[in-house]
Amino acid sequence: MARRPSLYLPVNDWPAEDQARWQEAFRVGDRFDGSGPGSHLAEATRQNLTESYGRFLRFISTNRSDLLNLMPDQRVNRRTVADYVEWRRKSCGDAMIAVELDRLRDALRLICPGVDWSWLLILTKRIAAAAPCKSKKYHLVTSERLYALGIELMDRASADVETAELISKVQALQYRDGLVIALPGLIPLRRPTLVALRIGKHLVKNGDLWELVISAADTKTRRPLDYPISKELCTRIDLYLSRFRCHIPGANMHTGLWSSNKQRPMSAVAIGAAVRRRTKKAFGFAVSLHRFRHAAATFWSIHDPANIRGVKDFLGHASFA
């Protein structure tokens, strides 16, 4: 059976000019030789831009291969983008297409920095505005409700342990999931930062309390973060580390805070799936990790609207935009 081709063209298969410009965009220089315009971007952002531009090139190579011989800015025009949009509609909706066009524009700004791509932004906004709106059920959730769910899951697992002779893996996983919901309910970290937490490196004991100390290298904005953790949650972290985590297979083989059932730290996909499963069971609809950040902003706007601009620093944003 023939293998289905990737939906996006790998960088090594891009036209030589595109490859050269892409590498130059992310080049890291020194004080005498300036860095590329994309050198400051986080790895996840770079990957998103690479895939979006590679997806556009896959469309070009499949449907208009003659355009590959042109310079990058010469092959991108309104007609080509319109055809690309129709091609993408076979596999995704307009909301996702708008996201990809925005990333495509960002990629083109790196490859062709002197070209005006404002027309592509206008087109992107039109598609996004016309896209069907999804249900806003997640707006019903604020941080205190998510935090309460995490506490409830941990307390229920603890209560079950008191009536059992041994801690089961199911109880340990429930306690872990409760903590992975309660912690971002209290401190709404971005998903990559939450996933990467390591005991002793990011989760540090200071006296009787725990705190999160995250270096600039481990954040999207390249700014260090430091969050104290409440005494209530510190007590439960102590219990997780001393009694529950060790009952997850392979937890002693790594320092990842979120131990998986596969003898390694949980991946972003695994953590996201666990959180969605627990929240759907509790609320009737799933809440993604990114919605925890919406929940924090909503909570702040309700309880302290006069100081709502403080959400910028709380969420670790570089600007109000």
The tens place of each residue's pLDDT in the chain, 321 residues long, gives 344 446 888 999 999 999 999 999 998 876 666 688 888 887 878 999 999 999 999 999 999 999 999 999 999 999 999 999 999 999 889 999 999 999 999 999 999 998 999 999 999 999 999 988 766 555 578 889 999 999 999 999 998 777 667 889 999 999 999 999 999 999 888 889 999 999 999 999 999 999 999 888 877 777 888 899 999 999 999 999 999 999 999 999 999 999 998 999 999 999 999 999 999 999 988 999 989 888 777 766 776 677 767 666 666 666 656
Q: Are residues 55 and 125 in the same domain?
A: yes
Domain boundary among 75, 96, 130: 130
Residues 144, 93 share a domain? no
| Among candidate residues 130, 148, 163, the one where a domain is terminated | 130
Helix residue spans in the chain (DSSP H) = 16-25, 43-63, 72-75, 78-88, 94-111, 118-130, 143-162, 169-186, 191-195, 231-239, 268-283, 291-303, 311-315
Please report whether residue 321 resides in a domain: no
Q: Does the residue 2 lie in any domain?
A: no
216 inside domain: yes
Residues 217 and 273 placed together within one structural domain of the fold:
yes
Asked if residue 256 and residue 120 are part of one domain, the reply reads: no
Residue at a domain's end among 109, 130, 151? 130
263 and 155 belong to one structural domain: yes
Helix (H, G, I), strand (E, B) or coil at 90: coil
The answer to whether residue 3 sits within a structural domain is no
Q: What pLDDT, on a 0 to 100 scale, did the predictor assign at position 317?
A: 63
272-297 in b/e form (b: 16+ CB < 10 A) is bebbbebbeebbeebbebebbbbbbb
The pLDDT of residue 116 is 95
Instruction: Write out the residue range of the structural domain in which residue 200 sits.
Output: 137-315
Question: How much is the pLDDT for 304?
Answer: 65
Residue 4 maps to a domain: no
Q: What's the number of CA atoms in the CB half-sphere (13 Å) around residue 182?
A: 23
Distance CA 6, CA 56 (A): 12
In a domain, 65, yes or no: yes
Domains held by the chain: number = 2
Query: Does residue 127 sit in helix, strand or coil?
Result: helix
Q: Which amino acid is at 35?
A: S
Both 121 and 94 in a single domain?
A: yes
Q: CA separation (Å) from 314 to 140, 165, 205, 289, 310?
A: 21, 42, 21, 16, 6
- Determine contact, residues 149/240, Cβ cutoff 8 Å: no
Q: Are residues 86 and 185 in the same domain?
A: no
Same domain, 201 and 288: yes
Q: Are both 147 and 51 inside the same structural domain?
A: no
Give the pLDDT of residue 29. 75
What pLDDT shows up at residue 128? 92
What tokens appear for 196 in the block? 């990467």
Cα separation, 200 vs 81, in Å, equals 49
- Residue 160, number of CB atoms within 10 A of its CB: 15
State whether 67 and 201 are in the same domain. no
52 domain residue, yes or no: yes
- Asked if residue 151 and residue 124 are part of one domain, the reply reads no
- pLDDT of 103 reads 95
> Both 155 and 56 in a single domain?
no
| 25 and 110 Cβ atoms separated by less than 8 Å | yes
- CATH no. for residue 155? 1.10.443.10
Within a domain: 92: yes
Give me the pLDDT at residue 89, please: 92
